[in-house]
Chain A
Amino acid sequence: MGRSSPLVGWLGGAALTLMLIGSAIGLFVVAADAEQGEVQRLMYVHVPAAWTAFVAFFMVFIGSVLYLVQRDPRADRFAAACAEVGVVFIALTLVTGMLWGKPTWGVWWTWDPRLTTTALLFAVFVGYLAIRGFSDDPDRRARWSAVVGILGFIQVPIVYLSVVWWRTLHQPPSSPRSVSSEILWTWMLNFLAFLLLFSYLAARRARLARLEAELEEREAYDV
């Protein structure tokens, strides 16, 4: 009952290995950026973390829809685990973005559309975790947070669009620089590593949630 499957252990091992390789390549193998210098290496954490966070929030959406359709507590625990780990990745995205922005743009924060949308997405999923934290009944908690997970996901594109218009009507958008294949390749490797790490952490978190639910049930019988 309490045993976690050996697959999860392998997942953790693979994540660690790939992260070591990816970080080594990002730090030592790929040449430093001509304009931005060494600080550009932060992008090998920043970009994959952002992608992973978006995958996480898509998973929250899937888990929420599944829960409302099937009313299976496993779907709820899956969504909650993805949200918790996803919030960590999105915080990592914001922090690394600011660390990169200060030396590159000269400011910690700017109202760039992607930056603003990411911060709002962070707020949406903090709300998701808050509504879970404030409700005790497992069924209601699952139902309420599933609704927030679905609405939160639906609002992302329209929020992004509105922020893009807000910025571009006042100033020209920053021109997207073409990215070399070397950089792209390192991003992909690190993205894979982060995805494995994410899956590992989410699986662990979901297992913990299942054990908590079992404990709650057992205590309910004992009383």
Chain B
Amino acid sequence: MGLGGRVAAIVWKDLLIETRTKASFHSMLFFAALVLFVFSFAIGPDTPLLKRIAAGLLWVAIIFTGILSLSRTYQAEEAGGSLEGLRMAPGDPRAIYLGKLAGNIILLLAMEAVLFPASAVLFQLEIGSHILPLAGIAILGTIGFSVVGTFYAALTLNIRAREILLPLLLIPALVPPLLGAVNSTQLVLDGNPLGEADVWVRLMVAYDVTFFVVCTWIFPVAVEE
């Protein structure tokens, strides 16, 4: 089996578990919606204000939810000690990273597909006419988050206090995709009159490519024993 086949096998296995149990997806979705609610309660029912900062609230909700779900990335393997088996399997250990990365991206994008319309309802946003650009931004932002997140989740797997260590390492690294996603989302929602969103899209592309290459390359070091 080549690298592609091994990656596909891991993605297939994880998505199969997820679609059979749906535990992770449903709780993620409700958690993200609750974060949006908490923001609204904390800021107050000031609809013009909420509308102006909606992109920021939305992406912070996605990042918080994403961090919680990241710590579950390798949970299925951990319980039976089968990560050891995956690592020892012949072939490049990078297949584990690429498979888990693809799984995380798919799961997060599925959640965003519900969360974007939900926030449009909550904050009275006009997303109907911007679906394609918003989908592109969501994909780029989610790839950036997952590339670094899946990597640090593997790195902190065997560390005490990893629940706090993972966000501690991850959040400073996520500043570029967060800024890129929030600003481009807001600009698109405002109609992108000056075409400024392009800068942020380019930033996200540069970030995604750079960290995809670096994290894939260095991954074997993170999981070796």
Contacts and interface: CB of A to CB of B under 8 A. Distances in A.
Contacts of B161: 134
Contact of A158 (B200, B207, B215): B207
A140 B156 CA distance: 11
A146 B173 CA distance: 16
A148 interface: yes
B132 interface: no
B165 interface: yes
A131 interface: yes
A162 B202 CA distance: 11
A162 B173 contact: no
A223 to B, nearest CB: 22
Contacts of B199: 165, 169
B211 to A, nearest CB: 8
Interface string A111-127: 00000000010011011
A148 B160 contact: no
A158 B169 contact: no
A151 B149 CA distance: 12
B175 interface: yes
Interface residues on B, range: 20 to 34
B153 to A, nearest CB: 13
A144 B155 contact: yes
Interface in B38-84: none
A130 B165 contact: yes
Contacts of A110: none
B53 to A, nearest CB: 14
Contacts, number: 86
A216 to B, nearest CB: 18
Contacts of A204: none
Of B155, B160, B215, which is in contact with the most chain A CB atoms at under 10 Å from its CB?
B155
A155 interface: yes
Nearest to B218: A147
Nearest to A135: B159
B169 A131 contact: yes
B200 to A, nearest CB: 8
A215 interface: no
Contacts of A148: 155, 169
Given A131-B165, A134-B165, A169-B196, A159 B156 contact: no
Contact of B176 (A126, A143, A162): A162
A154 B165 CA distance: 19
B159 A158 contact: no
A159 B203 CA distance: 10
Contacts of A140: 158
Contacts of A150: 214, 218
A130 B160 CA distance: 11
Interface in A132-158: 134-135, 140, 143-144, 146-148, 150-152, 154-155, 158
A161 interface: yes
Contacts of B168: 123, 126-127, 130
A172 to B, nearest CB: 15
B176 A159 contact: yes
A19 B224 CA distance: 45
Given A147-B218, A159-B176, 4 more contacts: A144-B155, A155-B176, A158-B176, A166-B183
21 contacts: A68-B221, A130-B168, A131-B155, A134-B159, A134-B162, A134-B165, A135-B159, A135-B160, A147-B155, A150-B214, A150-B218, A151-B151, A151-B218, A152-B173, A158-B207, A162-B180, A162-B203, A165-B199, A165-B200, A169-B183, A169-B196
